[in-house]
Structure 1
Amino acid sequence: MSPTEYLRVGRLVSTHGIRGEVRILPDTDFPEERFAPGSQLLLQHPSLSEPLLLTVEKGRPHKNVWLVKFAEWSNINEAEPYKGGRLVVSIRDAVPVQEDEGEYYFYQIIGCDVFTTDGRHLGQVREILQLPANDVWVVRPKDKGKEILLPYIDDVVKQVDTEEKRITIEWMEGLE
């Protein structure tokens, strides 16, 4: 599988204790599901030629991380070499989102063409910034000019068609 076929769900930042438990910094909106007992995750690490399949034995939130014990690791020495690794799942295993209610995965939005309601092509979404008030979609103009920052709010984003990779926005003063 290519890297684009995976969704990142967390990063293994350190070990915790001596029994193989690790600290995971979550990169998912669904940590309760991803780090639940029985969940299977793939570990990507520079030392591995292929992702390593891991099964969650137990997991719990702790401050800003999750403490996770994988069935495959019984002590700190088995977990230690994989610090800095990324935990991913196949896109096929994505938790369903409510697109009709404005929920999307980043991979569905990045690369979409952005048009105004009057049909003017502005460019493509290149990045999504997660800010406290709302997400901001960074659009690289087709003429390679200055990037446009689109707040993901109802007043601006009017329609998202993930199948056609097309977003329609209402142009507002101050977006450029």
Structure 2
Amino acid sequence: MAYICIGKIINTHGIKGEVKIESYSDFDEERYTKGKQVYICVDEKYLPVMVASYRKHKGFPLVSFVDLQNINFVEQYKGCEIYIDEADRKQLKKGEYYRKDIVGLTVVDEEGITLGKIISVEETLGAQNNLRLQLEDAKEVLVPYIPMIVKNVDLDKKVMMIHRMGGLL
């Protein structure tokens, strides 16, 4: 079975077994629906757990799991990542991509000149996410992930083409 990481348990919340999650997903409500199965990765083993509850608190998902509704049961999972079965992955619309699919892509400009690699996708409070690129000279830059700049994504070739705007790179 293949797994996709959707978040990381960063802390406990209260005494009833809720955990605070740093989410890597844009679909938290869907991922943590009551009754959904997710997997906590502990020492490279995937522990299946069933979601008992989900809510947002100060921008973070708070989730509890069936049979783990006590702080003493969940404390040990702080720092562990949460996964779903890849078969449960939501189908995206054309032009939408999962972060895990674009991190690592080689970035080229419209002339085909290699600029660097995508090392992360960073959320902002603004309208769009940013791509963190590591350029050929090891310098890191942020590029807005918008259609005006991102011209083409080819997952098969592992390449993203961007438009070089003045002052951007």
1:167–1:49 Cα change, 3 Å: closer
Instruction: Map Cα deviations across residues 58-97 of structure 1 (whole Å, 9 max, x no partner).
Output: 2223332333231132433222322332222233432222
Aligned to 2:163: 170
Give % identity: 32
1:10–1:30 Cα change, 3 Å: farther
CA contact (8 A) 1:25 1:64 kept: no
Aligned to 1:8: 6
Alignment of 1:18-97 (within 5 A): 18=16, 20-45=17-42, 48=43, 50-97=45-92
Counterpart-to-counterpart distance in 1, 2:64 and 2:135: 45
Moved over 4 A (4+): none
Deviation of the 1:113 alpha carbon: 1.5
In our comparison, the structure showing a higher alpha carbon Rg is 1
Aligned-partner residue type, residue 8 of structure 1: I
Count of aligned pairs between the two proteins: 168
Which 5+ residue runs of structure 2 have no aligned equivalent? none
Aligned-partner residue type, residue 80 of structure 1: E
1:108 aligns with 2:132: no
- TM-score under structure 1 normalisation? 0.80
Counterpart-to-counterpart distance in 2, 1:145 and 1:174: 18
1:162–1:78 Cα change, 3 Å: same
Deviation of the 1:29 alpha carbon: 1.0
Counterpart-to-counterpart distance in 2, 1:68 and 1:145: 38
Deviation of the 1:56 alpha carbon: 0.8
CA-atom RMSD in angstroms: 2.4
- TM-score under structure 2 normalisation? 0.82
Q: Secondary structure at the match of 1:96?
A: coil
Q: Secondary structure at the match of 1:51?
A: strand
Q: Secondary structure at the match of 2:146?
A: coil
Q: Secondary structure at the match of 2:45?
A: coil
Counterpart-to-counterpart distance in 1, 2:149 and 2:120: 17
Aligned-partner residue type, residue 139 of structure 1: L
Counterpart-to-counterpart distance in 1, 2:168 and 2:107: 13
Counterpart-to-counterpart distance in 2, 1:132 and 1:123: 25
